[in-house]
Structure 1
Amino acid sequence: MVVGVGCMVFRIHECHSLKAKRKVVKAMVARIRNHFNASVAEVADNDIYQRATIGVSMVGNDRRLINAKLDKLFNFVEDLGLAEMIETDLEIISL
């Protein structure tokens, strides 16, 4: 079993409240879930309204396939243009 875990940190410009941040984060999470069928959640920076950290995970049996899917996911989210991606982290774990 192969588990792929990714973390993306975003800077949300033109965001001046937690309500505005929530709207952007919910839109990104919904699109990721619908397009990639991945587990997605906001995992940190909950009280900082111009920064969001979103974690994703995928499970499969092929290391290369999980790596490729997570790379596509990162590119997809960056191309959405909802927020500026400032950092990414990816880890593939074989169990």
Structure 2
Amino acid sequence: MIVGVVRCECILFSAHSLKEKRSVVQSILRKAVHGHNLSASEVAYQDSWQHTELAFACVGSARSAVEHELSRALSLIDFRTEIERVHTIYEWF
């Protein structure tokens, strides 16, 4: 059993309120978990309107499958123009 966790710190340049930030963050989190073997959450900076930290976790029998799911989740962030990853940490258990 392989457990993979990726945490990424992000900046939202176009957010001018917590409501705008949460709209972007919730959209990413919903798309990440919908129909996939993945858990996702905003884990830090909930009260900051231009800063967030998102975490994605996946459990699988092969590391390649877990890496694929985690990279798919990160691509949801990378393809959006209103949010940018500034720091990413992978952890394996």
Common fold, TM-score beyond 0.5?
yes
Aligned length: 93
**Structure 1 residues 29 and 40, CA gap change in structure 2 (3 angstroms):** same
Deviation at 1:35, TM superposition (A): 5.5
Deviation at 1:63, TM superposition (A): 1.6
Report the TM-score when normalising by structure 2.
0.87
Give me the CA root mean square deviation: 1.5
Q: Deviations over 1:22-51 (max 9, x none)?
A: 111111111111263410010001111100
**Could you tell me which residue of structure 1 aligns to residue 89 of structure 2?**
89
Q: Which amino acid aligns with 1:83?
A: I
Unmatched tracts of structure 1, length 5 or more: none
**Could you tell me which residue of structure 2 aligns to residue 79 of structure 1?**
79
Secondary structure (helix, strand or coil) at the match of 2:15 reads coil
Secondary structure (helix, strand or coil) at the match of 1:76 reads helix
Secondary structure (helix, strand or coil) at the match of 2:55 reads strand
Unmatched tracts of structure 2, length 5 or more: none
Higher helix share: 1
**Could you tell me which residue of structure 1 aligns to residue 62 of structure 2?**
62
Secondary structure (helix, strand or coil) at the match of 1:8 reads strand
* Within-5 A mapping of 1:44-55: 44-55=44-55
Report sequence identity in percent.
28
Deviation at 1:69, TM superposition (A): 2.4
Q: Which amino acid aligns with 1:49?
A: W
List structure 1 segments (4+ residues) > 4 angstroms apart after TM superposition.
none
**Structure 1 residues 81 and 34, CA gap change in structure 2 (3 angstroms):** farther
Report the TM-score when normalising by structure 1.
0.86
